[in-house]
């Protein structure tokens, strides 16, 4: 494994949706110990853009548990650092700028579909035994509507989301643990980047912050591997160099069943 000359920076980026469980603690420890070993720094970032999953006091709890476990972050909420704020809801204005840049460069688009239209689309796909993924060619968005029409919709305050235009080709990246990974764009949904309430989704906020915070190594659980093709596209489209990725295998019971969060 080749080591670059850049100072290592890792991050642990929990969402305040509950208590810290053992899988999360393991991820935090890997990030922390790797950064320390490499003479780098480890950032704590709270990813709270999904307001529907927000749990009262979860953030305080996470911070307490991490402190208890001896994970001493170099930067984070209440620790400080020059790349803050370290809570995404306090970085709100940042994300739209990048979403706008992606749209003007042709990598993302406005979508005006109502939830009824989306439900009908999914139902149709289900009946045809196809993946319930957004069919951009058939829906109401800035790729299918005449420019004058979608501009009019925007101007009139019509609700919209911004979606990433996933290319219909192989998307490749390499992972320190998994090696080379290839996923075809046909198998990936046109990810929503900005929601109709103006909040970014995890994907946009996560990539923008990893970049702005100078993160060199993204070390996280394997459950995030399916998100990584979307993330590498965002890095490429925004003209940023990709960080290294390391997806840690899930923690399993001896019989290979998933570990319960409660035991």
**Residues contributing to the site for ligand GLU (CB under 6 A):** 13-15, 47, 202, 206, 220, 224
Q: 14 or 76, CB closer to ligand GLU?
A: 14
Q: Among 194, 12, 166, 217, which Cα is nearest to 94's? A: 194
DSSP E strands in the chain: the ranges are 9-12, 41-44, 108-111, 161-164, 170-175, 179-184, 192-194, 217-221, 244-248
261 is catalytic: yes
DSSP E strands in 121-240: the ranges are 161-164, 170-175, 179-184, 192-194, 217-221
CB of 244 to ligand GLU, least distance (A): 13
Distance CA 137, CA 153 (A): 18
Q: Among 117, 246, 119, 90, which Cα is nearest to 176's? A: 246
Cβ–Cβ < 8 Å for 82, 200: no
CB of 220 to ligand GLU, least distance (A): 4
Q: Which of 97, 123, 258, 261 is catalytic?
A: 261
Q: Among 71, 89, 93, 78, which Cα is nearest to 12's? A: 71
Distance CA 202, CA 37 (A): 29
CB of 25 to ligand GLU, least distance (A): 12
Q: 86 or 112, CB closer to ligand GLU?
A: 86
Distance CA 187, CA 175 (A): 19
Q: 132 or 226, CB closer to ligand GLU?
A: 226
Distance CA 20, CA 13 (A): 12
CB of 245 to ligand GLU, least distance (A): 10
CB of 120 to ligand GLU, least distance (A): 31
Q: 106 or 226, CB closer to ligand GLU?
A: 226
DSSP state of 259: P
Q: 47 or 131, CB closer to ligand GLU?
A: 47
Q: Among 126, 128, 10, 113, which Cα is nearest to 71's? A: 10
Could you list the active site residues?
261
């Amino acid at each position: 494994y080749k080591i670059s000359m850049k100072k290592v920076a890792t991050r642990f980026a929990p969402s305040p949706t509950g208590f810290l469980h053992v899988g999360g603690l393991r991820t935090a420890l890997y990030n922390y110990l790797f950064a320390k070993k490499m003479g780098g720094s480890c950032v704590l970032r709270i990813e709270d853009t999904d307001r529907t999953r927000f749990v009262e006091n979860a953030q305080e709890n996470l911070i307490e548990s991490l402190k208890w476990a001896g994970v001493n972050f170099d930067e984070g909420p209440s620790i400080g650092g020059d790349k803050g704020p370290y809570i995404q809801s306090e970085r709100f204005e940042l994300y739209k700028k990048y979403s706008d840049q992606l749209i003007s460069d042709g990598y993302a688009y406005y979508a005006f579909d109502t939830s009824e239209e989306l439900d009908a689309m999914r139902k149709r796909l289900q009946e045809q035994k196809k993946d319930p993924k957004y069919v951009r060619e058939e829906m109401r968005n800035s790729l299918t509507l005449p420019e004058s029409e979608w501009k009019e919709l925007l101007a009139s305050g019509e609700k919209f989301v911004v979606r990433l235009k996933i290319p219909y080709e192989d998307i490749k990246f390499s992972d320190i643990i998994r090696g080379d990974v290839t996923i075809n764009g046909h198998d990936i949904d046109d990810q929503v980047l900005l929601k109709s309430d103006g909040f970014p989704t995890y994907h946009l906020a996560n990539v923008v912050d990893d970049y702005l915070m100078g993160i060199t190594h993204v070390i996280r659980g394997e459950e995030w591997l399916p998100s990584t093709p979307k993330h590498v596209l965002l890095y490429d489209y925004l003209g940023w160099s990709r960080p290294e990725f390391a997806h840690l295998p899930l923690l399993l019971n001896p019989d290979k069943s998933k570990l319960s969060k409660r035991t």
